[in-house]
Amino acid sequence: MTIESNPGDRLISGIKKMVRKQINSIKGIADIPKLYARDAMIKPIYFFENDHVMMVVKKLKREEYNVCIVVDKNKRLVGEIRDEDLIMIMANTALKEPIPQILNHGYKRDIIFETAGSLAKNNRNTVFETDPINGVLKKAYKCKNLIVLNKNKEAIGVITPSSLLKLLSEH
């Protein structure tokens, strides 16, 4: 006469075997490098609050960036200016101002005398350079660009969709 084992014991034994297999399959995970925000950032284009906006336009065009960081004299973040913001201002001028409409020219009229600080948008889309990449990805899911800050809250980099994609495709 054989004694049947309890079905619950067999289930627990099966779960333990599965867990052991999973542990063995991920033992090498400690060798995988940990990624942080600093690994995905690129060098930003900086402007100071009093820099002329036309400098911003020219540099964004020349560098083929789509965002610049506006900082104060201590490199503390004031905000960001995106190429989309500049285009919206120019488009608004073209649509609402009679002179640009008649001449088909003069779209920069509303920004020509502005400073970078006056156009900078406050950016709450920041991460610290030591933030793990998973947290960065969560934030990147909700916004286009992330500004990277160091421990002193100085703006030291920017994470763009392409810089993030480059990092993730390498790992």
Q: Which domains does the chain have, with CATH numbers?
A: 34-170 (3.10.580.10)
Half-sphere exposure of 109 (CA within 13 A, CB side): 16
Average pLDDT over residues 137-142: 87
| DSSP tally for the chain: helices H, then strands E | 8, 6
Please say whether the beta carbons of 80 and 123 come within 8 A.
yes
**Amino acid 1: pLDDT:** 46
pTM, two decimal places:
0.69
Give the Cα-Cα-Cα angle 155, 152, 129 (nearest 5 degrees): 60
Q: How many residues does the chain have?
A: 171
More confident residue, 111 or 150: 150
More confident residue, 32 or 83: 83
Share of the chain residues as helix, strand and coil, in percent rounded to the nearest 5:
50, 20, 30
**Amino acid 120: pLDDT:** 84
Alpha-carbon distance 35 to 1, whole Å? Answer: 59
**Amino acid 29: pLDDT:** 59
When pLDDT is cut at 50, 70 and 90, the band that residue 19 belongs to is confident
Residue 81 bridge partners (DSSP): 68
pLDDT tens string 26-70: 665 555 678 999 999 999 889 999 998 888 888 887 877 788 899
**Amino acid 74: pLDDT:** 85
Average pLDDT over residues 140-168: 89
